[in-house]
Structure 1
């Protein structure tokens, strides 16, 4: 069996390579936007589609997005109570609530789950991540009401989310027993295989050590919720309903992921505290290298 530290070292080294490329002016921070667009619109949907279209789907998978949503709501409530106790502004409170609720079960969770559990585990992760898509649309609708904006744009952007359509089409091909054929299957496979390196290089390009110290206390609170409380909550929920096996292991691992990149998209769109959100994401990613190693040791 591969050592959990070795599993985490693979994406970590790729993140460091991305950071090194930025430091040596080979790429710059803005290039992360381009890489992210390729991942969201091409490589990740290809990875989802090619795996989901020929997968064996079981009933346990349907439980995962519900459990994921429940854990997110509890973490959001805890962040709200913390913010109220500190007397934070409405903007800062919503920033922390979203950072606590939205986990990176896709952008980071997919490649790590794929590395730990292979394609079968990745299928469970796809279902788990459906909750994050729902949260993205839900928070968009709520923030429009709180801070202004066009609700039609929120729905339109949600419907244009390509990974969601990859899930829908993958399920359609699966249930209808539609074969892609040799050429299409290999095209999607090659594109999907680029997902992990592109994600990690993109993360390396976004690292900025200068901002983190100004928001450390709040960022550490979010890290505690996302990286420790969340997987413990997931463990408790799934144990209570007697869910075991691969679905259980994947859910606990996915629950320990850092704050989602889409949380920053919401923050920017609705003029929340963007520097605080970026600090939360960055702190989470760094600390998750330690916490995910511990979780992998437990679930493998």
Structure 2
């Protein structure tokens, strides 16, 4: 439980920083860029370098990937029909589907898993994140654009963490010995991933003026409530219940429950702004912040249940 409380404290540190100095958009971009392009790839590489890849491990990768796709799809469907039942328009239904189904399994999920459980879980977390990103940049973008699928959408999958995942798996699969310099570099950079991600989350808290919070709260109270409840409460509950009846246990089960408990993914802000505009990113930021705070409360419970009963 201690690592979770440590992460919550680091989030508060990030928020405290915003009270003592002006944090520009460029500063937040710098942190985000550093985590996505250096720290997360380092976690993935360091995890893979320390994990023996045999047939059982590849089977585990397939299980995690499929589980990730299924859980995210359930969340998206639940979000869409929840918005429809509450009478929201088509655009809001599509937004709720994204917010409820797609978790922050990369930016937060990978560092958290690595920090709490170590290298093998870090690899599993990266595989789960690959399934999330696959769904985001196929079904997710289709929902927001309202157009037909295009292969060009898959280009967004080619980012630093994904490239690192593929290249590292190929290198380790060939049996090539990794020079100590690279393993130490990856290990050092991996150590900063969780702290930087948590500080970034803290820096996000004051980014929306109180007037915007009030507007979102008044017009979209049930919307935000549904997004947060489905993402942080319903999906981990479904994951845990399913795993009780399936022959999946140990680290494999832990990471599925943990990643299912992750808050709404940060890229929702970018996608809403790009495809919808009209200040819709405020909904994304609000859902991200609230689901992130709730996730910090749910995560210790998910870890306890997973390690005790799975």
Common fold by TM > 0.5: yes
Matched, 1:99 2:106: no
More off after superposition, 163-172 vs 173-182: 173-182
User: RMSD of the alignment, in Å?
Assistant: 2.1
Q: 1:153 to 1:19 in 2, by over 3 A?
A: farther
Correspondences of 1:86-235 after superposition (within 5 Å): 86-139=86-139, 141-143=141-143, 145-146=145-146, 151=150, 154-159=153-158, 161-208=159-206, 210=210, 211-213=212-214, 214=217, 215-235=220-240
Residues 99 and 287 in structure 2, CA contact (< 8 A), matched pair in contact too: yes
Residues 39 and 198 in structure 1, CA contact (< 8 A), matched pair in contact too: yes
Give the match's secondary structure for 1:295.
helix
Q: 1:62 to 1:263 in 2, by over 3 A?
A: same
Q: Deviations over 1:32-79 (max 9, x none)?
A: 221111111111112211221341241223201111111111111111
Q: 1:44 to 1:297 in 2, by over 3 A?
A: same
Q: TM-score, normalised by structure 2?
A: 0.88
Q: Tell me how far apart the structure 2 counterparts of residues 238 and 297 of structure 1 sit (CA, whole Å).
A: 14
Matched, 1:269 2:274: yes
Runs of 4+, deviation exceeding 4 Å:
150-153
Matched, 1:296 2:296: no
Residues 231 and 264 in structure 2, CA contact (< 8 A), matched pair in contact too: yes
Q: Tell me how far apart the structure 1 counterparts of residues 203 and 267 of structure 2 sit (CA, whole Å).
A: 17
Q: Deviations over 1:146-185 (max 9, x none)?
A: 169x9565333322x1100011011011101122212222
Q: Deviations over 1:235-294 (max 9, x none)?
A: 233333321111011211111110111222211221252111111111101111211121
Unaligned runs of 5+ in 1: none
Give the match's secondary structure for 1:97.
helix
